[in-house]
Amino acid sequence: MTLSFASLTVLVAMVALTLGQQEGLFITSIEVKTADGFYSSMTLGFIDIEIINKDVEICRISHLNSDENDFTQNQINEFDGSDLEECRDFPLPGNEIALLRLIHSGPDAWTPEWVRVYNNNGTFLECPDGAEIDNSETHDLNCA
């Protein structure tokens, strides 16, 4: 079989595009779901998020907050743009998160059901939780 130069060029371009889609990924938004339980909501506490990618680079969001009323029982909150602080456009090579850490501060506990991290391809990694976080506790979540 002989490949024409044109078809070879197309093939190389397709491979490069596919690799580029995996290599050029970065965070565009984060969603959190608060569990469906009477004590799941949080109004007085704060949540920081640290994300470590597979190159062991770290970004941090201090006091996660959107324009909406966040961390309400059985609700999903979305954080994007400047809400994401250091994690805005943070690279996710291979679409992998080595670790996502939640850090609580303040007096009011929160129970997250999951965290989802969206990339510029429009897909997301989901990091399941389900346990209450309070005081100065941290939760180390795996995302897939």
Residues that bind Ca ion (CB under 5 A): 65, 70
Q: Which is nearer to Ca ion, 111 or 119 (CB)?
A: 111
In the complex, what is the shortest distance from the CB of residue 111 to Ca ion, in angstroms, rounded to a whole number?
18
CA 79 to chain centre: 10
In the complex, what is the shortest distance from the CB of residue 84 to Ca ion, in angstroms, rounded to a whole number?
14
Instruction: Give the other-Cβ count within 10 Å of 117's Cβ.
Output: 23
In the complex, what is the shortest distance from the CB of residue 27 to Ca ion, in angstroms, rounded to a whole number?
19
Radius of gyration over every alpha carbon of the chain, rounded to an integer in angstroms: 19
Q: Which is nearer to Ca ion, 93 or 106 (CB)?
A: 106
Tokens representing residue 131 in the block: 């346990």
Q: Which is nearer to Ca ion, 62 or 65 (CB)?
A: 65
Alpha-carbon span 28 to 44, nearest angstrom:
27
